[in-house]
Amino acid sequence: MRWQGGRRGGNIEDRRGMGAAVGGGGIGLAILGLIGYVFFGIDPSTTTQVASSLGAASQQEGERGTPSDQAAQFVDVIETNAAQVWEQQFARNGGTWRPPAAVVLYTGGTGTGCGFGQAAMGPFYCPADQKVYLDLTFWDVMANQLGARGDFAQAYVIAHEIGHHVQTLTGASAQMQRAQQAARSQAEANQYSVALELQADCYAGVWAANAARVSGGEVALEAGDIEEGMNAAAAVGDDALQGRGGSVSPESFTHGSSEQRMQWLRRGYQSGDMAACDTGLGG
């Protein structure tokens, strides 16, 4: 993937090396399990249990701007390029774009507007503070444990989380929460979660389709990049992740199967239009 000449917007909040801010009380802990949209298909109760064992999180604030290391600069370029794409998409569809408050880089764990976040959850988006959270060691997990290698695979993850910010702005996230509250079973509630996650995958494809055009070619896909993205989408399907631990339970899926994740990433890329990403929640 070509990216090193891309524009850097500096919408990065660097908390690496700060350590986790943990305080008293537990009100914020369950929130991350309920409305923190994590990249892995983690059961919300598991997320809450992990966070509860560490205590309640206090909000933190890191250094804002463009970090000097290449790994962080990559995140900056992708976020900036995605914001350009979404500004045009919203204008074309009659909406008003507002970028995420920041992409937060952290190490191990950190306080968020949704409670305590930690690297074991994978990258996630918190709608309460409208920030994307990313521990860069996740790239090693993707490459070495999941077999999802390449810079476009990493860009897909970032774009997926920004897709959740798009859903906050369009109201799809709130719609999903209302539908889950009215669901008659956990399996039905999970179906709404799957719809939201697949739409975020589709939005990642929309970004990829438009990345070169909005950047004048400074950020652009190269040969093999789409295959990297499809491989990453397959690696993080619920069936693939559950299969690594034993049995596969489709009724417990929260993010979609490997085939579904690939399908919706492909649909977004082939259409290049957010209007093509209606998975049942509106788009």
Q: Which pLDDT band holds residue 36 (cuts at 50, 70, 90)?
A: low
- Of 13-27, 135-149, 165-179, 207-221, the poorest mean pLDDT is in 13-27
Q: Looking at the domain assignment, is residue 181 inside a domain?
A: yes
Residue 42 pLDDT > 70:
no
- Looking at residue 244, what is its pLDDT? 86
Mean pLDDT computed over 118-140? 93
Mean pLDDT computed over 128-135? 95
Q: Looking at the domain assignment, is residue 2 inside a domain?
A: no
- Looking at residue 54, what is its pLDDT? 42
Count of domains for the chain: 1
Q: Looking at the domain assignment, is residue 1 inside a domain?
A: no
Q: Looking at the domain assignment, is residue 5 inside a domain?
A: no
Q: Looking at the domain assignment, is residue 44 inside a domain?
A: yes
Q: Which pLDDT band holds residue 31 (cuts at 50, 70, 90)?
A: very low
Q: Please give the model's pTM, rounded to 2 decimal places.
A: 0.89
- Looking at residue 58, what is its pLDDT? 53
Mean pLDDT computed over 57-85? 89
Three-state DSSP string of 233-255: HHHCCHHHHHHHHCCCCHHHCCC
* Enclosing H/E stretch for 56: strand 56-57
Q: Looking at the domain assignment, is residue 248 inside a domain?
A: yes
Residue 130 pLDDT > 90:
yes
Q: What is the domain extent for residue 232?
A: 12-276
Burial class (CB in 10 A: 0-12, 13-18, 19+), 28: buried
Q: Which pLDDT band holds residue 186 (cuts at 50, 70, 90)?
A: very high
> CA geometry: angle at 135 spanning 236 and 28, to 5°?
95
Helix ranges restricted to H, the chain: 29-35, 44-52, 70-92, 138-140, 151-170, 172-182, 186-215, 225-235, 238-245, 258-271
Residue 47 pLDDT > 90:
no
Q: Looking at the domain assignment, is residue 283 inside a domain?
A: no
pLDDT tens by residue, 200-234: 999 999 999 999 999 999 999 999 999 999 999 99
Q: Looking at the domain assignment, is residue 168 inside a domain?
A: yes
